[in-house]
């Protein structure tokens, strides 16, 4: 079946990015402003705020993406809002966002605040590293998450998926409610740990005292601190800060113990070739004059644990919101899953995943409507001009992802949940399908290195779920809210499972 999608590349060919639209050039855009008066940030429309604090009182962190989307509808884009004396511009042009992503890390960066906050908690790894520090870390992580490496890892990945199936089969037998966001995060923590660090913490089988419980507190904390007008936590620790402190202590203890075990294994069973990413990082750290410290290795371990734990799990969870209400689609997926899986309860080998395009398409379509990455944030490293607006170096900018994905110019019937739009041959008969408007994995040199692993997990988990169970939401779907917790997550996703006949 021909695809017009961003679905994972299931060959060993190098990954490539879609070319920019013809005629779009930021430098040309800047040059064109010479013919007209260049706007300043202060010229942009802004919601009415209060003296001194600006719009701070209106920016509930848990609803930030919804507030900004509502303001974008009211004021158009770009607009600005004020956090005390600091303006933040907000944009919805994904082609412009694509262009900025292609110019990272040399002309743009993520918020400097993000790097400083992550540095404070010992998590300033690949995600937030900038400049020269980014490139060697990127090569290391890309090697660990490469297609050949994931193919070799597949038996372990399948075994972890089988443990998840057993957990869900027990819940179906007992008639108990399954909180899918929690179970899926346990799964992704086990997968990430086994793949990148050579250790499987078996959180799926445990009910309490798992590392995922501590990781779950970190993203909401980041959301609060990155958007705070001043770093209050450096002067006073609120109860929530003390809870995060305790969680971070447990997470860092876990990471350091894992590093110690990896070093012991390297001493007891030496190998010139690293067996997983953690060994590769430790080998690089131990090279003479490497300039890499144990703290930097630990920061990347924690970065990968957080990234692997949250985004894929929530993408699958959002897909269940739509699947649970669509019995014909569940049956179609069950039929396709059983055809691919045969007598096995899970996909028997990596090659069979290629026939499960529908399952990744379901997650892709769900994340178009419910984007886990709802906001991208950047600041320029030099003075720039974007669409006739003069932006000084270090100024703050948000790019909202969902408005473009709900635009009929980019996607036909944009409010309709239609996973087949990602599987059809692109032609005029089916209407608009602008893949470049979908930015859930980023773009440019810093495109998400784990996107292929995410696709594998989506196909593997959903095919196992649909082949073996039916899914029913345990609550009214209207009660499930979108929460900004660094990523955009469901407030809950409680379901009841029944064994499929």
* CA 406 vs CA 71, 232, 367: distances in Å: 16, 37, 11
Count Cβ atoms within 10 A of the Cβ of residue 439 and give its class: 0-12 exposed, 13-18 middle, 19 or more buried.
buried
Tokens found for residue 287: 């090279």
Contact, 432 vs 409, CB < 8 A? yes
Length, in residues, of the chain: 501
Q: Is 448 annotated as a binding residue?
A: yes
CB atoms within 10 A of CB 76: 11
DSSP per-residue letters across 209-273: S-HHHHHTTHHHHHHHHHT-SS-GGGT---HHHHHHHHHHHHHHHHHHHHHHHHHHHHHHS--SS
Residue 390 CA to residue 41 CA, distance in Å, equals 7
Indicate the helix (H) or strand (E) that contains 188. Answer: helix 180-197
Residues 6+ apart with CB under 8 A from 484: 61, 62, 63, 64, 65, 66, 223, 374, 375
Dihedral (Cα; 419, 425, 431, 433), 10-degree rounding:
60
Distances (CA, A) of 458 to 5, 311, 315, 420: 15, 11, 8, 16
Q: Distance (Å, rounded) from C-alpha 390 to C-alpha 33?
A: 10
DSSP letter (8 states) at residue 77: S
CA separation for the pair 32, 414 (Å, rounded): 33
Helix 218-226, helix 112-120: angle, nearest 10: 130
Other Cβ atoms within 10 Å of 167 Cβ, number: 16
**Which residue matches tokens 């770093």?**
231
Give the angle 78-373-21 at the CA atoms, nearest 5°.
Answer: 60
Among 416, 412, 436, 415, residue whose Cα is nearest residue 424: 412
Q: Which residues contact 143 (CB under 8 A, 6 or more apart)?
A: 149, 277, 280
Q: Residues at the annotated binding site for heme?
A: 448
For the annotated binding site, the residues are 448
């Amino acid at each position: 079946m021909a695809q017009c999608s961003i679905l994972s590349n299931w060959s060993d060919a190098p990954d490539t990015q879609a070319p920019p639209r013809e005629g779009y050039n930021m430098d040309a855009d800047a040059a064109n402003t010479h013919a007209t008066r260049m706007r300043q940030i202060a010229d942009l429309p802004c919601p009415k705020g209060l003296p001194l604090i600006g719009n701070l009182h209106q920016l509930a962190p848990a609803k930030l993406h919804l507030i900004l989307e509502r303001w974008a509808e009211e004021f158009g884009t770009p607009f600005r809002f004020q956090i005390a004396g600091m303006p933040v511009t907000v944009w919805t042009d994904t082609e412009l966002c694509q262009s900025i992503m292609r110019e990272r890390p040399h002309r743009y960066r993520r918020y400097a605040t993000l790097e400083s906050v992550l540095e404070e908690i010992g998590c300033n790894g690949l995600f937030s590293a900038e400049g020269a520090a980014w490139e060697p870390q990127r090569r290391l992580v890309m090697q660990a998450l490469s297609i050949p490496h994931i193919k070799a890892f597949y038996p372990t990945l399948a075994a972890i998926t089988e443990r998840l199936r057993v957990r869900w089969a027990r819940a179906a037998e007992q008639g108990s409610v399954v909180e899918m966001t929690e179970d899926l995060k346990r799964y992704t923590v086990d997968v990430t740990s086994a793949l990148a660090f050579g250790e499987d913490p078996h959180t799926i089988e445990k009910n309490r005292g798992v590392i995922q419980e501590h990781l779950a507190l970190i993203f909401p904390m980041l959301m609060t601190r990155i958007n705070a007008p001043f770093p209050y936590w450096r002067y006073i620790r609120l109860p929530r800060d003390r809870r995060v402190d305790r969680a971070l202590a447990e997470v860092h203890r876990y990471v350091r113990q894992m590093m110690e075990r990896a070093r012991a294994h390297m001493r007891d069973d030496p190998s010139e070739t690293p067996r997983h990413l953690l060994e590769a990082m430790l080998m690089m750290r131990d090279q003479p004059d490497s300039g890499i410290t144990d703290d930097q290795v630990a920061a990347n371990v924690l970065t990968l644990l957080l990234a692997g734990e949250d985004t894929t799990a929530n993408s699958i969870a959002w897909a269940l919101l739509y699947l649970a209400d669509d019995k014909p689609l569940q049956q179609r997926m069950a039929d396709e899953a059983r055809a691919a899986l045969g007598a096995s309860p899970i996909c028997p080998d990596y090659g069979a995943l290629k026939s499960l395009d529908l399952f990744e398409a379901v997650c892709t379509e769900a994340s178009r409507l419910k984007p886990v990455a709802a906001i991208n944030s950047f600041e320029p490293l030099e003075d720039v001009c974007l669409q006739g607006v003069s932006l000084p170096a270090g100024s703050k900018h948000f790019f909202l992802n969902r408005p473009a994905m709900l635009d009929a110019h980019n996607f036909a019937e944009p409010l309709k949940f239609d996973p087949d739009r990602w599987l059809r041959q692109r032609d005029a008969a089916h209407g608009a399908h602008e893949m470049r408007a979908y930015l859930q994995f980023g773009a440019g040199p810093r495109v998400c290195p784990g996107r292929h692993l995410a696709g594998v997990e989506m196909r593997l988990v959903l095919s196992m779920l649909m082949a073996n169970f039916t899914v029913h939401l345990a609550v009214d779907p209207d009660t499930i809210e979108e929460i900004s917790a660094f990523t955009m997550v469901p407030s809950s996703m409680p379901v009841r499972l029944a064994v499929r006949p």
